[in-house]
């Protein structure tokens, strides 16, 4: 395998994918453009049936299997989105699918993969351990291994995202794409370089999993154990994808966990669209490097929308804390009847809402006749919080932000 796919490979993939995957919208976001200082165009791949672009590569690969390979069945290793893409299109084409997933995979992804009729095998604590087990099962059972990114058919399928984006928005100045193993950006860069040689193509990884960044930049940054963007938490970048990225991608940038969390909340609030960590990585880059993209027409791929509901709830709450809309205050008050009622009445008069009350007598260094009260408040922001604190202080209560 040479790995150096060309635009004709992607065009052939696009023909195979017609009516099999969604031609997703690529539209401008006025609000995000105002907030980031560049013109933002969003490609909604989270609207695919399995909520991820991964369907494209999986469908292109399975559609090209020989009759004997279809009879034997396929096996894939994935933390979720590739798994669902392979499982769904294998079911549609009547092909047996076995999916090996690491044990840390979110339950929602495991159940959805099983829901598409695949046999799910949970093995290993890392993607590499799961991959090795999938290879062994492929050998034992004669299954065709469908790699999540290091395969020409997969890269060509993913590249159809760029064909659609540049058809809908032909004057983009830059494409900003999340990078795990590199299949998506390799396919997209192949298209973009052929159609628009001058366009800037930038890959995004998280600081906790800078595997492709290390390879391309010649650095040796350590890999973490977990990231909110688990869809791009790849320890071993692709060999074929690497070659394409070196030749056709301009740069790879890193974002941190806070950037990704903020981007998820912004997309939910502003665009009313749900994305997972990897799907928000491209917007996170605009937030982290505003000068890099200032004034440009930038295309972002919202690559997937499969996120654990409990994780999403935590991210929303943390986002409210960062925005000052969820805050804690500490009040020292005399431990006498009616004081707590007075405090809550003052908070109500300012228009804030009390989320939690912690009334502490024993575990405090205050005098015995005093009580420490901690309130968690829903406010309109930092200025509103200051109003609440000032109102309590004016009423004689010793009040501080917690």
Q: What is the pLDDT of residues 380-402, one digit of tens each?
A: 999 999 999 999 999 999 999 98
Q: What pLDDT, on a 0 to 100 scale, did the predictor assign at position 12?
A: 98
Residues 291 and 159 in one domain: yes
If asked whether residues 109 and 17 sit together in one domain, one would say: no
pLDDT number for residue 361: 65
What confidence tier does 226 reach under pLDDT thresholds 50, 70, 90? confident
Domain boundary among 272, 304, 319: 319
Residue 141 belongs to domain spanning: 54-146
Q: What is the pLDDT of residues 2-47, one digit of tens each?
A: 558 999 999 999 999 999 999 999 999 999 999 999 999 999 999 9
pLDDT at 250 over 70: yes
* Residue 260, in any domain of the structure: yes
Mean pLDDT for 155-183 is 97
Final residue of a domain: which of 253, 284, 319?
319
Strand order in the sheet with 97-101: 119-122, 97-101, 74-77, 144-146
Same domain assignment for residues 126 and 198: no
Name which of 300, 180, 185, 301 is nearest 229 in CA terms: 180
Q: Note the pLDDT of residue 235.
A: 85
Q: Is the pLDDT of residue 127 over 50?
A: yes
Backbone angles phi, psi at 382, to 5 degrees: -55, -40
Residues 161 and 282 in one domain: yes
Which 3 state secondary structure label does DSSP give 303?
A: coil
For residues 158-186, give the mean pLDDT: 97
Give residue 225's pLDDT band: very low, low, confident or very high (50, 70, 90): confident
Percent of the chain scored above 70 by pLDDT? Answer: 97
Residue range 325-348: mean pLDDT, rounded: 91
Are 309 and 332 within one domain?
Answer: no
Cα–Cα distances in angstroms (integers) from residue 289 to residues 13, 77, 176, 268, in the given order:
34, 33, 12, 21
Q: Tell me the C-alpha distance between 153 and 174, whole Å.
A: 25
Name, in order, each residue with C-beta under 8 angstroms of 238's C-beta and a sequence gap of 6 or more: 147, 149, 150, 181, 182, 183, 186
What's the confidence (pLDDT) of residue 368?
A: 55
CA distance 172 to 39: 9
298 within a domain of the structure (yes/no): yes
Check residue 1 and give its pLDDT. Answer: 45
pLDDT at residue 362, as a whole number: 61
Do residues 346 and 315 share a domain?
no
Please indicate whether residue 332 or residue 8 has the higher confidence score (pLDDT): 8
294 located within any domain: yes
Kindly state whether residues 312 and 343 are assigned to the same domain. no
User: Does residue 287 share a domain with residue 219?
Assistant: yes
Please return the burial class of 210, using the count of CB atoms within 10 Å of its CB with bins 0-12, 13-18 and 19+. buried
299 Cβ contact partners less than 8 Å away, ≥ 6 residues apart: 26, 41, 43, 165, 169, 172, 174, 175, 176
Give the pLDDT mean for 148-177: 97
Specify the CATH number for the domain of residue 382: 3.30.70.260
- Residue 69, in any domain of the structure: yes
pLDDT of residue 66 exceeding 80:
yes
Tell me what percent of the chain is helix, strand and coil, each rounded to the nearest 5. 50, 20, 35
- pLDDT value of residue 123: 94
Q: How many domains does the chain have?
A: 3
CATH number for the domain harbouring residue 216: 3.40.50.1100
Q: Is residue 48 part of a domain?
A: yes
Residue 367 has pLDDT above 50, yes or no: yes
Q: Judge contact between 128 and 147, C-beta under 8 A.
A: no
Same domain flag for 298 and 215? yes
Q: Residues of the chain with pLDDT > 90: what percent?
A: 81
Residue 1 lies in a domain: no
Collapsing DSSP to helix, strand or coil, 362 comes out as coil
Cα distances from 350 to residues 21, 329, 339, in angstroms, run 51, 14, 17
Are 267 and 344 in the same domain? no
Mean pLDDT of 87-95: 96
Same domain, yes or no, for 211 and 336?
no
Q: Is the pLDDT reported for residue 148 higher than 80? A: yes
Q: Which single residue is written with the structure tokens 């669902």?
A: 84
Query: Does the pLDDT value for residue 378 go beyond 90?
Result: yes
The pLDDT value recorded for residue 80 is 78
**Over 60: is that where the pLDDT of 326 sits?**
yes
Domain final residue, candidates 108, 127, 146: 146
pLDDT at residue 366 tops 60: no
Tell whether 284 is covered by a domain.
yes
- Answer with the residue of higher pLDDT: 102 or 159: 159
Same domain, 257 and 142: no
């Amino acid at each position: 395998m040479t790995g150096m796919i060309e635009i004709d490979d992607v065009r052939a993939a696009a023909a195979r994918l017609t009516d099999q995957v969604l031609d997703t919208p690529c539209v401008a976001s006025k609000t995000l453009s105002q907030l980031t200082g560049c013109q933002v165009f969003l490609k909604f791949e989270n609207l695919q049936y399995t909520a991820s672009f991964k369907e494209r590569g999986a469908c292109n690969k399975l559609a090209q299997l020989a009759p004997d390979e279809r009879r034997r069945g396929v096996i894939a290793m994935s933390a979720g989105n590739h798994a669902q893409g392979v499982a769904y299109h294998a079911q549609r084409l009547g092909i047996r699918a076995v999916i090996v997933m690491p044990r840390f995979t979110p339950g929602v992804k495991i159940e959805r993969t099983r829901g598409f009729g695949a046999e799910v095998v949970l093995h290993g604590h890392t993607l590499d351990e799961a991959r090795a087990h999938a290879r062994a099962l492929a050998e034992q059972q004669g299954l065709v291994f469908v790699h999540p990114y290091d395969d020409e058919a997969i890269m060509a399928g993913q590249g159809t995202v760029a064909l659609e984006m540049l058809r809908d928005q032909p004057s983009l100045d830059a494409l900003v794409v999340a990078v795990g193993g590199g299949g998506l950006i390799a396919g997209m860069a192949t298209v973009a370089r052929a159609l628009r040689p001058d366009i800037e193509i930038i890959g995004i990884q998280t600081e906790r999993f800078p595997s492709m960044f290390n390879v391309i930049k010649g650095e040796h940054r350590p890999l973490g154990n977990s990231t909110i963007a688990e869809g791009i938490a790849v320890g071993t970048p692709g060999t074929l994808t690497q070659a394409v990225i070196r030749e056709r991608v301009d740069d790879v940038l890193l974002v941190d966990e806070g950037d990704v969390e903020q981007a998820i909340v912004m997309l939910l609030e502003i665009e009313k669209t749900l994305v997972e960590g990897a799907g928000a990585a491209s917007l996170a880059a605009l937030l982290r490097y505003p000068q890099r993209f200032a004034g440009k027409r930038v295309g972002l791929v919202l690559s997937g929308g499969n996120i654990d509901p409990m994780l999403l709830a935590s991210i929303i709450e943390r986002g409210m804390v960062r925005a000052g809309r969820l805050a804690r205050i500490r009040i020292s008050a005399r431990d006498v009847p009616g004081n707590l009622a007075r405090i809550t009445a003052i908070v109500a008069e300012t228009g804030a809402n009390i989320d939690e009350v912690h009334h502490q007598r024993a575990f405090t260094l205050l005098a015995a006749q005093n009580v420490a009260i901690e309130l968690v408040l829903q406010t309109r922001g930092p200025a509103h919080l200051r109003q609440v604190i000032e109102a309590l202080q004016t009423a004689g209560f010793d009040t501080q932000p917690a």
